[in-house]
Amino acid sequence: MKAKVHVSLKAGVLDPQGKAVGDALVRLGFDEVGAVRCGKTIELELADGLSKTDAEKRVKDMCEKLLANVVVERYSIEIV
């Protein structure tokens, strides 16, 4: 079983990386680009034998303790 964790900054948190990417795209001629927000995706290979419910609980615990800074980031979990 695999889990995908999508992490992004919460609304209202400044995103200097997103700003830099957006500015660069406009300089490259992509004038249709407005605001850009950057995030990350983390893919986890999980041990066999976990139920989907248990996997979601374990990955949520991983996010709360390490994978996301819950003060400024939000995350979503996808079990595949």
Q: What is the DSSP letter of 10?
A: P
* Per-residue confidence (pLDDT) for residue 54, from 0 to 100: 97
- Listed in sequence order, the residues at least 6 apart from 18 whose beta carbon sits closer than 8 Å to its beta carbon are 9, 35, 36, 37, 38
Q: Which residues of the chain have pLDDT under 70?
A: none
| Alpha helix stretches (DSSP H) within the chain | 16-27, 52-62
Calculate the alpha carbon distances from 51 to 15, 72, 78 in Å: 36, 30, 14
* Per-residue confidence (pLDDT) for residue 73, from 0 to 100: 98
* Per-residue confidence (pLDDT) for residue 18, from 0 to 100: 97
Whether 25 and 37 have beta carbons less than 8 Å apart is answered as no
Can you give the pTM of this predicted structure?
A: 0.88
